[in-house]
Amino acid sequence: MKSSLSLVIPVYNEEENLDELVDRCVAACDALGRPYEVVLVDDGSRDASRERIEAKARQFGGRVKGVFLNRNYGQHNAVICGLGHADGATVVTLDADLQNPPEEIGRLMAKVDEGYDVVGTVRVNRQDSLLRRLPSLLINRMVMSATGVMMHDYGCMLRAYDRRVVDAILECRERSTFVPVLANSFACRTTEIDVHHDERKAGTSKYGLFRLLNLMFDLMTSMTTAPLRMLTYAGGALSLCGIAFGAFLLAMRLLLGSEWAAQGIFTLFAVVFVLLGVQLVAMGLLGEFIGRIHIDVRQRPRYFVERIVGATGVRLTWSPEDAADEVLEHQAT
């Protein structure tokens, strides 16, 4: 039998979309001929989403599961919660607003069956306003330059993750996170496919300007502590410039005399530059400590084992004495 599949869908005030969403997901998964479950995580909705989820869970007993959070925790936390309640060998995440057509899941699973452990998607005909696309463009650029990784559309949540990657994500203890980026840090073989992107069926986007900004900071701090180090570098450079400027002033004063120095105004500049630079370096050093604290409290797994070769699975029976005996026997003959 083919390996099992869990769909994880975060839901926040999506009452008008839920019926169609679940029906289409169930139909798409039925067509795949593998065991599956649909996990809907209600992220503290204030409309009738919960009742809709309960009704659907009754209708498709066993195949649809609802997990209700007591308040709104944000999309990515809801997804992580869903990952924790998913049992499938593969987990596919998607949005509840039907912008990601559930019918594409089959194509994702085909890639998973080929052996990829993270399958991303690129929205070929993205149906969002320019104002919503611009920040995404920025985010994608940022991730690409910070991680050097290979994916072009981190915003699209229609993604498939292998169980091992899901388990590694669940081991991370951080609060503010960005699931696709986290997943990529544990991936061994990734690929992307083009998918169709529809307009939101009903309701409005949950991301206003400030939530997007927030997301951007979450993303940046979950990827890198490089901006902290930039402080040290900038401060060092500024100090060096100040010292060079001071030396230049001194040389000119010796060559051309004291009236050239404009009563020491420029000397003051040189001193200020040096001091400013020293301050920045000091802040950068503080930043290095904070960055390490930040990395430690996240408690991400230190490493991710891709595979082990040469393991037999039986208990170790070989001992150094055996090896010594072997040598002696060898010498005796």
Q: Which positions touch ligand UDP (CB under 6 A)?
A: 10-12, 14, 43, 72, 74-75, 78, 95-97, 99, 205-207
- Residue whose C-alpha is closest to residue 66's, from 5, 13, 11: 11
Are 38 and 26 in contact, with CB atoms under 8 Å apart?
yes
- For residues 11 and 41, the answer to whether their CB atoms sit within 8 Å is yes
Pick the piece of the chain touching Mg ion (CB under 5 A) from 53-61, 64-72, 93-101, 151-159: 93-101
Instruction: Give which of Mg ion, ligand UDP, none residue 206 binds (C-beta under 5 to 8 Å, depending on kind).
Output: ligand UDP
Collapsing DSSP states into helix, strand and coil, what is residue 47? Answer: coil
Q: How far is the CB of 128 from Mg ion (least distance, A)?
A: 8
The count of residues interacting with Mg ion (CB under 5 A) is 3
- CB closer to Mg ion out of 104 and 117: 104
CA 290, 296, 297 angle in degrees (round to 5)? 90
From 39-47, 92-100, 165-173, 256-264, span contacting Mg ion (CB under 5 A)? 92-100
The item of ligand UDP, Mg ion, none sharing an interface with residue 72, based on CB under 5 to 8 Å by kind, is ligand UDP
Shortest Å, Cβ 46 to ligand UDP: 11
Q: Which residues pair with 195 in a beta bridge?
A: 123
Residue 99 near Mg ion by CB under 5 A: yes
- The CA dihedral of 77, 25, 193, 138, to the nearest 10 degrees, is -40
Least CB distance to Mg ion at residue 94 (A): 10
Nearer to Mg ion, 200 or 229 (CB): 200
**Closer CB to ligand UDP, 108 or 249, in the complex:** 108
15, interface contact from ligand UDP, Mg ion, none, CB < 5-8 Å by kind:
none
239 binds Mg ion (CB under 5 A): no
42 binds, among ligand UDP, Mg ion, none (CB under 5 to 8 A by kind): none
Strand segments, DSSP code E, in 163-267 are 190-195
Q: Other C-beta atoms within 10 Å of 110: how many?
A: 13
Q: Which is nearer to ligand UDP, 81 or 231 (CB)?
A: 81
Residue by residue, DSSP assigns 240-276 as HHHHHHHHHHHHHHHHH-GGGGGGGHHHHHHHHHHHH
User: Binder to Mg ion among 15, 42, 43, 97 (CB under 5 A)?
Assistant: 97
11 binds, options ligand UDP, Mg ion, none, Cβ within 5 to 8 A by partner type: ligand UDP
- From the number of C-beta atoms within 10 Å of its C-beta (0-12, 13-18, 19+), residue 97 rates as buried
In DSSP terms, 39 is beta-bridged to 8, 65
- Of 14 and 162, the one with the shorter C-beta distance to ligand UDP is 14
Sheet holding 36-42, edge to edge: 64-68, 36-42, 5-11, 90-93, 159-162, 118-123, 190-195
In the complex, the residues that contact Mg ion under the rule CB under 5 A are 95, 97, 99
